[in-house]
Structure 1
Amino acid sequence: MRNGLKLDRLLQMRFVKFGLVGGFGAVVNILTLLLAREWVFIGLPERQFGLSIRLDASLLLSISVSIVSNYIWNNLWTWKERADGSHFGFFGRLPKYIAASWFGVGVQFLAAKLLISAGVYYLLASAIAIVLASGINFVLNDRWTFGASRKNSYSNRTERLSEE
């Protein structure tokens, strides 16, 4: 039972770290969006062919930069004990992380749209969707992106926890 409690505490701390990294990622996203729209893509037209060219390019860049930033910090901090022993390596896990992140974006978008269409105020709908997508994204990354290899199995993790 003692190992189970330590594992629960480890998961709670990991989720807190994941949330802090996500908060930092939101700041990175907003700052990158500002820099990209106002300076990096200043030469692009604001609108062309009915599309928001400069804004869309800036959004894609800011989302991509924040995903990579979040991956680096989650790799170095949130799941560091798994990252050290993984046979996939830093660049091998990156495509999984990107896929999990874009899946989370899709879940957030669809959940917000469904809630809004059901009459929920758009800001509340977005907040609910963010919480839902964050939980799903955490589970995907915990189990898939940074999932324990056979060498780093559940029993090995609980053994390390009991030694602390």
Structure 2
Amino acid sequence: MDLVFEKNKKSLIKAQVCFVLPTFNEADNIRNIIEAIFDQQVNVPDYQFKVLVVDDNSPDGTQQIVNQLIEKYDSLYLIAGEKNGLGNAYKRGFAYALKTLNPDFIFQMDSDGQHDPQIIPDFISQVNQGYSLVIGSRFIEGGTTPEFSVRRKLISWLGNILVRYIGGVRHIRDCTSGYRCISASYLKNCNFRFLSTQGYSFQSSLVCDLVAQGADCKEIPIVFSKRSFGNSKLSLKDQLEFIWNIPKLGFRTHKDFVKYSIVGFSGVLINLGVYVFLTRYLGMMPEIAPILSIEVSLLSNFMFNNFWTFKKRLIKSNFLSRLFQFHLVAGISGILNYSIFFVSFRYLMINDIFANLLGIAAAAIMNYLINSNWTWKTSSK
């Protein structure tokens, strides 16, 4: 009898969902969005909703409206702080929610009416199927951006392409969406110090970090509609920061890059050693020896990277496929190296040694980024 009572008691405990809403001057929108979120509670009775508003000291009365609503909703919370960008607002909100509200899942959601609260049950449905990261996607079938100009669509498309391939999240079509449901267990393990971006590029950094942890992702289509009131907060500074942050996405694990660099240096020594052996001891022609010495160093680099640098990664591709991809990347890197050297030396009048170093540095970085996120890409679940 006691065992049956305990089982029934546990079944009554609802999973906790916290909606984190960053705001700045959203007095015209915040009431509608909060009420619309709580209205969806009846459609997902197995979950308990909590809403956390993270306000950047809005001067338009946003906080006063939220405080009025707190008297109506016991599960509504407000924290305030200085305006330091969307990323920092989310960091403060996540930290407060995880420490104080004990959620099982956290929603990211805009406060301006562009994200439709009526599809919250669709997110929860995917959570119930076991997904730990559900993204409201504008770029899968059924998703649309009806208010985007051609220029805005092009920028979004290009930005997502860069994030997907440099950040190692090729299977995700919308990496910059701000409408997401995330398992709190993954957020607890996020390195928010690494996610140092202050603005909107925080969104792409976060999704890359979650996937790197192994979060199982599902995208559902959304219609990204026009703001109900007010103006967009996306500034030129945010766009520049997004571009600046792109290369950082490929270096999520600095230990891998250090190992990769050590292997690369060993490859240089092996290349030189084999060349000396072939020409000085076997009498091979200097014009022919580099072909063999380069290939030996490539094979050496591949084996060390495969069985040391990226040993802990769960990879689906087979050994021969990785070997072919590694050689292909080496060829592309070589072309980039020579192209930068040639342009720098011939047209920019840069010293030949320095021009060569520029080419080597650019090629080495590209080599790592492509191999890390393609040849030895961690497989998605």
Tell me the alpha carbon deviations over residues 7-55 of structure 1, each in whole angstroms, 9 at most, x when there is no partner.
6885211111111110111000100111112233x2x5xxxxxxxxx22
- Structure 2: segments with no counterpart, 5+ residues: 1-186, 196-208, 210-248
Moved over 4 A (4+): 6-10
Structure 1 residue 58: Cα displacement: 0.6
Which one of the candidate residues 108, 115, 119 is aligned to 2:337?
A: 108
Aligned residue pair count: 138
Match of 2:369 in 1: 139
| One-letter code aligned to 2:338 | F
Match of 1:3 in 2: 190
Q: For CA contacts below 8 A with separation 6 or more, give which structure has more relative contact order.
A: 1
Which one of the candidate residues 308, 318, 337 is aligned to 1:89?
A: 318
| One-letter code aligned to 1:69 | S
Matched, 1:68 2:310: no
> Whole-Å Cα distance in 1 between the matches of residues 350 and 339 of structure 2?
14
> Whole-Å Cα distance in 1 between the matches of residues 279 and 322 of structure 2?
30
Tell me the alpha carbon deviations over residues 67-110 of structure 1, each in whole angstroms, 9 at most, x when there is no partner.
1100001111111112xx32323223100001111111111111
> Whole-Å Cα distance in 2 between the matches of residues 79 and 13 of structure 1?
10
Which one of the candidate residues 100, 122, 126 is aligned to 2:356?
A: 126
- Structure 1: segments with no counterpart, 5+ residues: 45-53, 152-164
Match of 1:13 in 2: 255
Q: Percent of counterpart pairs with the same letter?
A: 23
| One-letter code aligned to 1:3 | C
Of the structure 1 ranges 111-120 and 7-16, higher mean CA displacement relative to structure 2 is found in: 7-16
Secondary structure at the counterpart of residue 26 of structure 1: helix
Which is richer in strand?
A: 2
Of the structure 1 ranges 26-35 and 90-99, higher mean CA displacement relative to structure 2 is found in: 90-99
> Whole-Å Cα distance in 2 between the matches of residues 79 and 3 of structure 1?
21
Match of 1:160 in 2: none
| One-letter code aligned to 2:275 | L
Which one of the candidate residues 261, 269, 276 is aligned to 1:27?
A: 269
Which one of the candidate residues 57, 63, 84 is aligned to 2:288?
A: 57
Structure 1 residue 66: Cα displacement: 0.5
| One-letter code aligned to 2:292 | L
RMSD: 2.0
> Whole-Å Cα distance in 1 between the matches of residues 319 and 351 of structure 2?
41
* TM-score, length-scaled by structure 2: 0.34
> Whole-Å Cα distance in 1 between the matches of residues 287 and 328 of structure 2?
20
